[in-house]
A and B are shown apart, each in its own frame.
Chain A
Amino acid sequence: MSHGAIGLDDAGVALNGTPVWQHVTGSFAPGSMTAIAGANGAGKSTLLRAILGEVPLAAGKITLGGLRAQDFGYLPQARIIDRAFPISVTDMVLGGAWRQTGAFGAASPAVRQRAADALCRVGLEKQAGRMIDALSAGQFQRLLFARLLMTDASVIMLDEPFTALDAPTTQDLLALVREWHAQGRTIIAVLHDMHQIRTCFPHVVLLSGGQAIWGETARILTPGTLQRAYETPQATPWAGGPA
C-alpha cells in the first residue's frame, strides 16, 4: 500500500451555484481510519464523491498521493443500486474482480474461488446462487461488502455502510472494516452513529455550516461542535443565502 496521503487544499464544492462546503483543508494519511460526520445535507457523500473526482471542485484542489481510480473501493448508499435487476449474487460479487477481468475478460477459476471465499467471509455462501432481489437489506449490504473484498482496494470509501442494518449485521461488517484497517488500508466512512465513530474511528471530519473540522475524534466531537454541526441551518438551493 505504498502511496501518499489524500489531501484537500482549500477545496470547495458548489451544487447549482450554492456552496456545499468551502475552504476545506486536511489529509487522509495512508492506513488511517476516518469517519465523516455532519447533519443531513452537510455534504458528506459529496466529499467522498469529490475525492473520487465525480463532483467538480469550485475552488482549491485535491491530491491523491499517487493513487489511481482503481485503487479506490467504494461502497455507495444501497438505495442508488437497482436491487430489482435480475443478476445473481455470484455475478454481482464477480463484478468486484473488475481489475483482473476487465470489461471483457473471463473470470478464471482462481477469481471464482476468491468470489466464493468473499461470500463465505460475509456469511452469504448459501445465497451464492440466488438473485439479488431475493436478499434482505442486511444480506444485500453483506453482498456489497463481499464485492468490496474482491476489489482489494488500498483506499476503501463507505457511504453510510450501516444505515438501516440490525445489530448483528452491523457488528459483522464493522469487524470487516477493522480487519481492512489492520491490513493497512485507508478507510473513509460516512457515518451517523456518534457512538460508533467514537469507539472505532480514530479520526473524524465534521462538516458543519459549510466548513470542515478535521482531527482526532476525541478532540473534535465535543458537545459544542456537535451542537453547532447539527443545529446550523443547512444552505439549500432555494434559500439563496451564503452557506
Chain B
Amino acid sequence: MSMLAGLWEPFATFGFMRRALVASITLGMGAGPVGVLLQLRRMSLIGDAMSHAILPGAAIGFLAAGGLSLTAMGLGGIAAGLGVALLAGLVSRRTHLAEDASFASFYLTSLALGVLIVSARGSNIDLLHVLFGTILAIDGPALYLMAGITTLSLFLLSFIWRPLVMECVDPGFMRMTGSRGALYHMVFLFLVVINLVAGFEALGTLMSVGMMMVPAATARLWTRRLVPMMALSATVGMLAGFTGLLVSYHFRLAAGPCIILTCSAAYLFSLLASPAGIRAGGGSSPFRSH
C-alpha cells in the first residue's frame, strides 16, 4: 500500500471506518465551538464534571435498552446532566458554596452511582464500553443522532450568540438590559450536555470531553478572535478524528484514545510553535497596557 493510498483506503474499504470518520467529523464540528465558549467562560473543569455527571442517566438508558443504544443512553444522559447542573446551580445560589464546589460534589456522586448501576446489572465489557466508547461500532441511527445534535448545537449557538457572548463578558450588563442571563447560561449548559452525549458512544464518558476541550485550547493559542477560534477548534477536532482513525488502523491501536491523543499532539505542537505558546514567555497577561 502506497503512502497516499494508506490515507483513504481504510475508509474506502471498511464501512465501520467510514462511519467512524463521519462520527468524528460530526463530533468535532459541534463540540469544538462549544468547547471554546466553555473555556472562555472559565468552565473547563465543569465540562469535565458534566461528562461524569451524565453517567448514571446513560447507565439507566443502557440497562433499559438492554445494550448500547445511543438514543436511550443519550436521553438518560441529558436528564442526568441537566439534573446535576440544576442542582449545582441551586446549591450555589442557596449556600455559600461556589458553583464548581457543588458541581464537584454532585458529579462524583453521579459518577459513583453510574458505575454502581452498570456494574450491578451489566458486565465489565459493558462498563468499558460506557467509560471508553466504541467509535468503530457506530451504527446508522447513532450517526443520525450525532448529526442531529451537532446541527441543533450550531443552530442554537448562532441563535443565542449575542446574549451568550455578552453574558460571558459582562453578566451585570446583561441583567441591566432586562435579559435573562441565567436562561442563556442554562441553554449553554444544555449544549455542553448534548455534545457530551453525542461523543458518548464514540469516545465514552471519560474521553468525550477531550474532543471539546483539547481542540478549543489549541485554537486559543492561534487566534484572539472568537469566530475564527471556534472554526479552528472545530477543524482541529475534525482533522484529529481523521488522523487518529488512520493511526489506530495502521498501528492497530484503540481508536478513541488515538483521536484524543492526536488532538493532544496538535495542542503540544501549538504550545511550541504558536505565537501565544510557551515562546511568548510569562508576559501573556491579557491586561496589556501601553
Q: Which residues of A come within 8 Å of B, CB atoms?
A: 16, 52, 54, 68-70, 72-74, 76, 80-88, 91-92, 95, 98-99, 101, 103-104, 131-134, 136-137, 147
Contacts and interface: CB of A to CB of B under 8 A. Distances in A.
Given A16-B96, A134-B288, A137-B287, 8 more contacts: A52-B175, A69-B176, A69-B178, A76-B172, A80-B171, A84-B286, A87-B165, A95-B166
Contacts of B94: none
A86 B176 contact: no
A70 B176 CA distance: 7
27 contacts: A52-B176, A69-B176, A70-B177, A70-B178, A72-B176, A76-B173, A80-B170, A80-B171, A81-B169, A82-B40, A82-B168, A82-B170, A84-B287, A86-B224, A86-B229, A88-B225, A91-B165, A95-B162, A98-B177, A99-B177, A101-B162, A103-B162, A103-B163, A103-B179, A104-B162, A136-B290, A147-B173
5 tightest A-B contacts by CB?
A: A84-B286, A69-B178, A76-B172, A98-B177, A136-B289
Contact of A83 (B163, B165, B177, B287): B287
Given A103-B162, A134-B288, A54 B175 contact: yes
Q: Is the interface of A mostly helix, strand, loop or mixed?
A: mixed
Contacts, number: 75
A199 to B, nearest CB: 28
A73 B175 CA distance: 11
Nearest to B177: A98
Interface of B: 40, 96, 159-160, 162-163, 165-166, 168-173, 175-179, 224-226, 229, 286-290
Nearest to B179: A103
A93 to B, nearest CB: 12
B289 A86 contact: no
A104 to B, nearest CB: 7
A166 to B, nearest CB: 11
Contacts of B162: 95, 101, 103-104
Nearest to A76: B172
Nearest to B226: A86
A141 to B, nearest CB: 13
Nearest to B223: A86
Contacts of B224: 86, 131, 133
A78 to B, nearest CB: 10
